[in-house]
Structures are given as C-alpha cells and as structure tokens.
Structure 1
Amino acid sequence: MILLGKPYVSDFLVKTIRENKFPVIATKHAREMVQEENLNWISEEDAVAQIMKNKESVIYSNSENNIQWLQENASGSLLPGQIALFKNKIRFRELIRTSFPDYFFIGVKYADLRDIDPENLKFPFIIKPSVGFSSIAVHKVDNSLEWHQVLDDIEIEIEDAQDMFPKEVIELTEFIIEEFIDGEEYAVDCYFDKEGEPVILNILHHIFSSAKDVSDRVYYTSPEIIEKHKDKVQDFLQMVGRKALLKNFPAHLELRITKEGRINPIEVNPLRFGGFCTTGDLSFYAYGINSYEYFFNSKKPDWDKIFLTRRGKQFNLIALDNNSGIKVKEIESFDYEALLKNFEKPLDLRKINYKVYPLFGMLFTETVVGKNEEIDRILHSNLKEYIEVKGELVNATDS
C-alpha cells in the first residue's frame, strides 16, 4: 500500500502507481494531492484491516507528513515503534551506540540551549532538531565564539518552520548536539526485503559549497560511486536492520564515509526514499531503476548490466532552496527558463510552490564525470540571477 501526502507527489510516482495498480490509501491529504479517480484507491478502514491482518504489510510513504496516520492506524504492527526510533535522532544514536562506542552526542531541550556553557562542548559539532527534516535548524559550530550566533539563527529558523511541517516531521522542543564527522557525505536509498536483507537502490554523493554549508543543494550519483561504496554500505545496513528488526521497510539514509572507508551514520529516514520524490525518481533517470516497483516487487538491481550503458555519466539532483536572502513576500517570480539554459542536459524540472515551502524546485541533470563547471556554479549560487523582485530584477553580480 502507498500513503501519499504533502508536500509533493511527482507525476512519475503517480504514473508508477497507475501502471502497477498499487493500492493507495484514500486519506484526505492523498485525495488533495492526487485528484485522479483512475487509481487503485482503498479506504482507510480497509487499509487498517489489512495492516491488522498482516503485521508485515508492505507500505511506502512519499512523505513524513504521513507519520501521524501510521502512528494512529498501524498500532498492531512494528511500524510505529520503528518510525519513532529513526525519527528521533537521539534514540537512533542509542540504538547503534555499541557499534560506535566513541561517538559523542547529547540531547538537550531547546529551552535549555542558552544555559549550556560552550566551553564544555567538544568542537567542532553539529546541532540539529532531534526530530527534523531537510537542513532546517541544522548548524555546524566550529568554536565557542559562534555558539550564541548559531542559537540566534536557530531561533529565527524555528519561527519560519513551525507552520510548515507537522510535529511528527519536525519537533523543535529537543535538539541533539553531536560530534562533527570527518569524511564525505552520502545519501542511500534502500529497502529491507521480507527476510530483512537490505537492497541498495542508489548511492549519492552530497557535496557542499564550504565547510559551513549544511544545505541540500547538490547530490549526484554515478557507477563509480556505487561500485566504490556499495559493499561497505550493505554491511552497515545489515547491522541497522538486525538491531531494528526491519522487514518490508524502505528507507533513505544520510551517512559520512571517512578516507579510510569507515561509515558513520547521520540519520535514517523511515518508509520513504528522498523527500519531495527526489532520489527515488532520480534512480529511474539515472539507472532505469523504478525504486517503487523494485520495493513492492522485491527486485534487486543488476548493477553490472546497468552500468554497461552508464559509464562516464553523472546524474545530479539539485535542490533550488531559497538561499537568496530575499523574503518570499518580495519575490514576483522565478525564471525557470533562464535556469535551464545554464545546464547542458536537464532531465526533469519539478517546480515547487516557494510561497509555501523554502525552495523553488528540484532539477535533475546529466553531466560527464569530471566535467563539473555547471554543478560548481549552481552549488555556489544564491539564485538571485533567476529571481524577479516585485518592481525590479535582482542584480545578480553578487551570486
């Protein structure tokens, strides 16, 4: 069964559901997001009955906004507990503590953050909501001089985010402070099959514009990335799956890999692939892998065969987050056509309502491995060159 909800449902996902006749739970939010009768809609009552009858029901959710429905209606299964385990970063760290005994982390109530003496903390560290989404209220702190400014920034971000997502997605009353992990950051889409065996569907390199950048602007995947890391990622997933008793369970992971090849987890996002239908859809554009079909049909990628026609190619996911500093109420429009002209091979553009969510859209592109000029440019751009402010066009010289 599939749970659909805000903030975004891609045409690709809807097409996949329609062609495979995957059952979709007819929640209020699903009906609002997809107004198409020609789907295999099932009532909430029938869905709950199926879950109660089969404790290992196969469920995919496109959005963490659906967590509340699962917590209220899947109480007879392991799902509510597993979701809570992964959504709370403190509980997740406690789950894997024995595998990472030297890793430093503490949980702190938001109300108590300003009472902390930063001199007692281990720098550098990352501070973020214990229950969070995307890079909202996530900061790297390099020294004690930055501490109070970071707290001021978090306060502003909390005000902006409170009405954007439900508390099951972002809970801003508790934060985790954890050591900064050296190494490159990666995202992984996977699922655990009915036997609990993990199946990797994609591995993407998450790159940043600077040491202080914590945004989600650019991820990219290639055969070389997957070949280099899939075996050790597979081993890590098996450890997590055993500890959390995962079966018939899709997930999106963020992790860091050191130069020595050691994996350090950042977070596990339950029952979904990348948010806003990103990484799950990109796998099809990149490798011909329909992640949703692979999950529901327990298919495994034949990487050797897939890579035969993908050598030398890189597939990029670009999140057009509004880092311009321009307030939404001042923006007249965003020039998507001008944006596309700066990319040699755009694959798909998904426009997002930037008046509701803090990004203009998602862009998939293809480039040649090693030819990174256009990716470097968008990674460092503040997007002002594409923004028309009410009454004037923004001067983009400082982008």
Structure 2
Amino acid sequence: MFFVDKPYISEFFKTTLRDNAIPVVATDMAKQLDLYGQTKLISEDEAVKIVQDKDDTIIYTTSENSIGWISKHLKFNCLPQKIALFKDKVKFRELTRSIFPDFYFKEVLIEDLKKIRFDQLPLPFIIKPSVGFFSMGVYKVSNYAQWGDTIESIFVQIEQIKDLYPQQVLSTRSFIIEQCIDGDEFAVDAYYNSIGEPVILGILNHTFASDTDVSDRVYSSSKVIIENNLEEFTDFAGKIGKLAGVKNFPVHIELRRQTNGTLLPIEVNPMRFGGWCTTADLSFLAYGFNPYLYYYQQKKPDWHEVLKGKEGKLFSVVVLDNSTGIDVEDISSFDYDKLVSNFENPLELRKIDYKKYPVFGFLFTETREDNFIELKNILDSDLNEFISTNAKMA
C-alpha cells in the first residue's frame, strides 16, 4: 500500500496508482490531493489490519510527512524503528559505525550550539539538523569566521522553516556535526526486496557549483553514470541494508566517492525515492521504466536493455530552489518560459507555489553531454534573472 501526502505528488505518480490499482491509504491528506477517479483507496483501519496480518507489507510514501502516521498507527510493527535508524542522522551514524569506524560525528542540542569548543572540531565540517530534509539547515564550515555566521544563519532559518514539515521530517531540536566528505556525490533510488536484497532503480550524479555549494540544484543520470557505479553501489547498499535488517523498504541514498575510491554515505532517506516525485519520475522520463511499479511488483531493471541508445545523453532534474536572496513576499513572478528557453530539450516543467515552499519548481531535461554548459549556467545562477519584484523593490 502507498501513502500520499504534501508537499507534492506528480501526475505520473497519480496515473501509476490508478492504472495499477495500487492501494492508497485514505488519510485526510490523501483526500485533498486530487487523486484520479478509480484510484483504489483503503481506510486507515484497513491499512492497519493489512500490516497486522502481513508483517512484510510493501509500503511506499511519497513524502516523509507520512512517517508520522506510520509511527502513530503501526507501533506494533518494527517499521517505525527501522525508519528511525535512517531518518535520525545520529542513529544512522551509530548504525554504520562498524563499517565506517573512523568517521567523525557529534550530536549537539540547539541550545548548546553557542557553547561548542570550536577548536575541538575537525575542519572542514558539515552541520545539519539530526532530522532534516531537502538541504534545509545544512551548512559547510571551514574556519572560525564562518562558524559565527553559520550559527546566526541557523537561528534565522529555524524561524523560516520550523512550521513547513512535521517533527518526524524536519526537527531543529538537535544538530549533527560531522566530518566533511569530499569527492563526487551521487543519489541512488533503490529498494530492499522481500529477502533484503538491494535493487537499484536509479543513479544520479549530484553536481555542485563550487566547493562550498550544498544546494540541490542539479542531479544528472546517464548510461555512463549508471554503468560505472551499478555494481559497486549495489554492494554498498547491501552492506547497509544488512546492518539495518530491512525488507520491502524503499530508500533514497546519498553518498560520496572519495578521491581514494572509498564510498561514504551522506544519508539514507527511508520509505521513499527522491522527494517531490523527482528522481524516480526522471528514471521513467529517461529510461522508460516505472520505479514505483517496479518496487510494488518487486521487479528489477534490465539495465543492459534499458540503457541501449542512451549514449552521449545526460538526463537531469533541476531544482529551482529560491536562491535569489530576496524575500518571497517581494517576488511578484517567475519567468518559467525564459527558464525553459535556456535548455535544448526540456522534458517536463513543474511549477511550485513558491509563496508556500522555498522552491520555484522542478525542470526535467535531456542534454547532450557536450552541451553541459546549459547545466553549468543554471548551477551558477542565483535565479534573479528569472524573477520580477514588487514595485516597492524597484
């Protein structure tokens, strides 16, 4: 059974639910998300009974907002505890300590941030909410001057984001400080099947504008990216899954390959693929198979066949986060047509209510590898060229 929740579900996902009669739990939020007619809805009581009768129920959530429902209604099952192993970044580091014994991390309560002995921290380091989402509250610190600015920024951002998501999705009660992981970053959509084996459904390279960039602006997939990493990432996911003891469990893994070849996990997001129906939808747009359905039906992509004819192409999702530096209330419009005109083969544009969420939208694109400049341009942009401001800002 699947759960749907805010902030967003795609038309592709809605179609998948309807056309394949996938049971959807009829929460109050599910009733507000304009699911297509003939979607198979089941009551919350029925959902609980299904899990009681079948311990290894296949469950997927479009949004981590649904974790709250699972924690409340499925306490009798091990699933809430398995989710917590991944969702809480401190618990995750403790879980994987046996694989990565030399990795530095430290939990700090929000009220203790200003009391930290800076000279005892490894430089550079990353600080982020222990329970977080969507790069919110994530900062890289390389020196003492940055540390002071970072603490100030954290408290400012807390006020901006504290009501956007449930506590199970984003909590600013505590933060984790951990060593900075260098190297190429990747995002992996996968699931652990009924016997705990990992199945990879997508691999994307997370490209950054600079060494200090921690944004989610561009993720790209290609034949080369998948072929070069599929075996190694499958083995990597298998080790983590074995420690956690998970089955029928979808994940979105973020990891880096260091210059010496070592793979280190950044985090593993439970019960979903990429947020906002992004990376899994991109796999369909790029390669023609449906990751949601593959998980539900326990199928494995035939990557040899899937990647035929994809030579020389980059398939990307561009996250149009509000990096303008301008208060959203002072932004009167975003020029989506101008944005799209900068790409040679846009596949799909999704506009988001940027007054409600800190993102203008998502753009899915196909780009020739030798035309990477169009992706580089949007990486370097603060998006100011696409917005108009209220008259009082002129």
Instruction: Please give the TM-score of this superposition, normalised by the length of structure 2.
Output: 0.98
1:212 equivalent to 2:230? Answer: no
- Quote the RMSD (CA, aligned, Å): 1.1
Q: Which amino acid aligns with 1:155?
A: F
SS of 1:370's equivalent in the other structure is helix
CA distance in 2, matches of 1:384, 1:204: 27
Partner of 1:254: 254
CA distance in 1, matches of 2:10, 2:128: 28
CA deviations 1:306-331 (Å, max 9, x no partner) are 11121111101100000001111111
1:159 equivalent to 2:159? Answer: yes
Matches within 5 A, 1:169-184: 169-184=169-184
Q: Which amino acid aligns with 2:248?
A: N
CA deviations 1:88-113 (Å, max 9, x no partner) are 00000000101111111110101101
CA distance in 2, matches of 1:155, 1:106: 19
Matches within 5 A, 1:193-232: 193-232=193-232
Partner of 1:128: 128
Q: Using the TM superposition, name which of 274-283 and 368-377 deviates more.
A: 368-377
Partner of 1:118: 118
CA distance in 1, matches of 2:23, 2:131: 29
SS of 2:157's equivalent in the other structure is helix
Q: Which amino acid aligns with 1:385?
A: E
Percent identity, please. 47
The structural deviation recorded for 1:143 is 1.3
CA distance in 1, matches of 2:146, 2:335: 36
User: Are the aligned partners of 2:127 and 2:139 in contact in 1 as well (CA < 8 Å)?
Assistant: yes
Structure 1: segments with no counterpart, 5+ residues: 395-399
Tell me the matched-pair count.
394
Partner of 2:82: 82
Partner of 1:140: 140
CA distance in 2, matches of 1:225, 1:370: 15
CA distance in 1, matches of 2:270, 2:167: 16
The structural deviation recorded for 1:393 is 9.2
Partner of 1:346: 346
CA deviations 1:250-274 (Å, max 9, x no partner) are 1001111123321100101001000
CA deviations 1:34-56 (Å, max 9, x no partner) are 25442101111111110111111
CA distance in 2, matches of 1:393, 1:302: 54
Partner of 2:17: 17
CA distance in 2, matches of 1:234, 1:30: 33
Partner of 1:40: 40
CA distance in 1, matches of 2:97, 2:120: 22
The structural deviation recorded for 1:368 is 0.9
User: Are the aligned partners of 1:201 and 1:289 in contact in 2 as well (CA < 8 Å)?
Assistant: no
SS of 2:370's equivalent in the other structure is coil
SS of 1:273's equivalent in the other structure is coil
Partner of 2:149: 149
User: Are the aligned partners of 2:317 and 2:365 in contact in 1 as well (CA < 8 Å)?
Assistant: yes
Instruction: Please give the TM-score of this superposition, normalised by the length of structure 1.
Output: 0.97
Partner of 1:57: 57
The structural deviation recorded for 1:145 is 2.2
Partner of 1:362: 362
User: Are the aligned partners of 2:107 and 2:177 in contact in 1 as well (CA < 8 Å)?
Assistant: yes
CA distance in 2, matches of 1:111, 1:370: 49
Q: Using the TM superposition, name which of 61-70 and 260-269 deviates more.
A: 260-269
Q: Which amino acid aligns with 1:66?
A: S
CA deviations 1:121-153 (Å, max 9, x no partner) are 110000000000011110000112211111001
Q: Which amino acid aligns with 2:212?
A: K
Partner of 1:397: none
CA distance in 2, matches of 1:36, 1:313: 33
The structural deviation recorded for 1:373 is 1.1
SS of 1:167's equivalent in the other structure is coil
1:100 equivalent to 2:100? Answer: yes
